[in-house]
């Protein structure tokens, strides 16, 4: 489809759900052979697999809250979103939430709370979480708003309800921007895509709060830009091993060690790769590659799935895979509603 087509919106949201559902199998695993990944994915094609057999985790549970809040309010509403996160957690606490964030989610349900950003600020000794929980649910901001300034502002605030450390919320900003660019068709020119992200993150990371958090955590100045430059270096190499990706970019639960990794996975799999079935399309390659990294596979595949889905569109998603994943059919319907909201949203200048 063309830029910002409905097929791309569907692809982005369904891709995110698929990544979470298929990635759950290997979350926390080390040394995942590609053979095991392909076995797992081949299983999705078998007719006797029940509908929605692979359950989604916190990544999708929170993404659904963001989608429903944006659609119901027609805008970003931090109180509504905080309430939905808290209610979702109360109803289904067993979706695999991070061990720190559950305290925030409990406190967000208190009727006495007036500042909804306060519980997140109290995390980890007052600096806030640098986990990838803000980034994993950032895709809907790129599907609801067309102006990059809105996408940046609201993905940041949406993440700050649970992640007040700059390394946490800037991961959400980066993920939302990557989905936004992919929706526009920007992955047709990979070098320009990564350069745009670097220049956006140069702005985001120049703010005082980002600088002081990077310093306090012993990270280089402009930590996301530094990682995105590493992504560029890896893109230029003729061969890249899984071990190299893990050691250069990471596969962990910190947003800094997973958002640039997800972006790399998408870029790396734009072209056919040895070790992956010839019959696989780009989105299938991307998800398989994410799973083979091990570590935080549900979240890396969820984020890469959103970006790749925005690039390839819904046609790239095998119906059998979609059927196996809880919430994937519904995601397609919500993508249509978000597409309508997006078209009404003010364009940036």
- Range in contact with ligand R7I (rule: CB under 6 A) among 55-63, 264-272, 311-319, 324-332: 55-63
CB contact set of 277 (below 8 Å; sequence gap of 6+): 38, 284
How far apart, in whole angstroms, are the C-alpha atoms of residue 321 and residue 328? 9
The H-or-E segment that residue 279 falls in is none
Question: Euclidean distance between the first and final Cα of the chain, in Å?
Answer: 24
**Separation between Cα atoms, residue 247 and residue 338, nearest integer Å:** 37
Among 4, 12, 22, 57, binds ligand R7I (CB under 6 A): 57
Question: Shortest distance, CB of residue 333 to ligand R7I, whole angstroms?
Answer: 24
Binding mask 260-299 for ligand R7I (x = CB under 6 A): ------------------------------------x-xx
Per CB under 5 A, the list member of 205, 213, 219, 298 interacting with Mg ion is: 298
Part in contact with ligand R7I (CB under 6 A); list of ranges 32-40, 56-64, 77-85, 106-114: 56-64
CA distance 250 to 223: 13
Q: Is 200 an interacting residue with respect to ligand R7I (CB under 6 A)?
A: no
Smallest gap, in angstroms, from Cβ of residue 287 to ligand R7I? 15
From 68-76, 162-170, 222-230, 292-300, give the range in contact with Mg ion by CB under 5 A: 292-300
Token pair 């670097």 is found at 198
Alpha helices in the chain (DSSP H): 6-23, 34-42, 58-73, 78-91, 101-108, 118-121, 139-144, 148-160, 166-183, 190-204, 208-216, 223-236, 242-249, 259-268, 282-292, 297-312, 319-324, 328-344
| Size of interface with ligand R7I, in residues (CB under 6 A) | 21
- The structure tokens listed for 13 are 């949201």
Q: Rank residues 69 and 146 by Cβ distance to ligand R7I and give the closer one.
A: 69
Candidate list 96, 148, 282, 318; residue touching ligand R7I; CB under 6 A: 96
Alpha-carbon span 296 to 163, nearest angstrom: 18
Q: x-or-dash pattern for ligand R7I, window 116-135, by CB under 6 A?
A: --------x--x-xxxxx--
Q: In the complex with ligand R7I, which residue's Cβ is closer, 88 or 298?
A: 298
Give the list of residues 6+ apart from residue 296 with CB closer than 8 angstroms, or none.
Answer: 27, 28, 132, 251, 252, 253, 258
Least distance CB 75 / Mg ion (angstroms): 27
Which member of 100, 148, 190, 281 binds ligand R7I (CB under 6 A)?
100
CA distance 163 to 131: 7
DSSP string, 209-222: HHHHHHHHTTPPSS
Can residue 89 be called a binding residue for ligand R7I (CB under 6 A)?
no
Residues in contact with Mg ion by the rule CB under 5 A: 57-59, 96, 296, 298-299
Residues in contact with ligand R7I by the rule CB under 6 A: 57-59, 96, 98-101, 124, 127, 129-133, 136, 165, 253, 296, 298-299
């Amino acid at each position: 489809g063309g830029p910002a087509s409905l097929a791309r919106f569907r692809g982005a949201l369904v891709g995110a759900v698929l990544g979470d559902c298929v990635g759950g199998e290997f979350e926390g695993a080390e040394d995942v052979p590609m053979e095991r990944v392909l076995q797992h994915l081949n299983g999705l094609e078998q007719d006797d697999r029940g509908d929605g057999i692979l359950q989604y985790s916190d990544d999708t549970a929170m993404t659904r809250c963001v989608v429903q809040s944006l659609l119901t309010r027609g805008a970003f509403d931090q109180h509504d979103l905080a309430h939905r996160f808290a209610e979702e957690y109360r109803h289904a606490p067993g979706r695999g939430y991070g061990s720190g964030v559950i305290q925030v989610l409990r406190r967000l349900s208190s009727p006495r709370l007036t500042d909804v950003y306060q519980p997140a600020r109290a995390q980890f000794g007052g600096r806030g979480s640098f986990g990838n929980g803000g980034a994993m649910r950032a895709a809907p901001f790129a599907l609801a708003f067309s102006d990059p300034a809105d996408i940046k502002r609201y993905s940041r605030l949406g993440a700050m309800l649970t992640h007040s450390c700059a390394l946490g919320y800037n991961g959400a900003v980066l993920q939302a921007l990557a989905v936004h660019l992919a929706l526009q068709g920007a992955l047709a020119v990979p070098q320009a895509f990564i350069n745009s992200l670097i220049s956006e993150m140069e702005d985001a990371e120049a703010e005082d709060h980002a600088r002081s958090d990077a310093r306090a955590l012993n990270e280089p100045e402009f930590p996301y830009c530094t990682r995105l430059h590493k992504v560029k270096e890896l893109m230029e190499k003729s061969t890249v091993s899984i071990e190299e990706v893990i050691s250069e970019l990471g596969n962990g639960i910190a947003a800094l060690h997973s958002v640039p990794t997800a972006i790399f996975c998408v870029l790396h799999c734009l072209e056919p790769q040895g070790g992956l079935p010839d019959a696989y399309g780009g989105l299938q390659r991307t998800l398989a590659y994410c799973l083979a990294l091990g570590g935080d596979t549900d979240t890396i595949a969820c984020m890469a799935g959103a970006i790749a889905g925005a690039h390839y569109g819904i046609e790239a998603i095998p119906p059998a895979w979609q059927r196996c994943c809880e919430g994937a059919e519904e995601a397609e319907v919500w993508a249509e509603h978000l597409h309508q909201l997006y078209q009404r949203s003010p364009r940036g200048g």
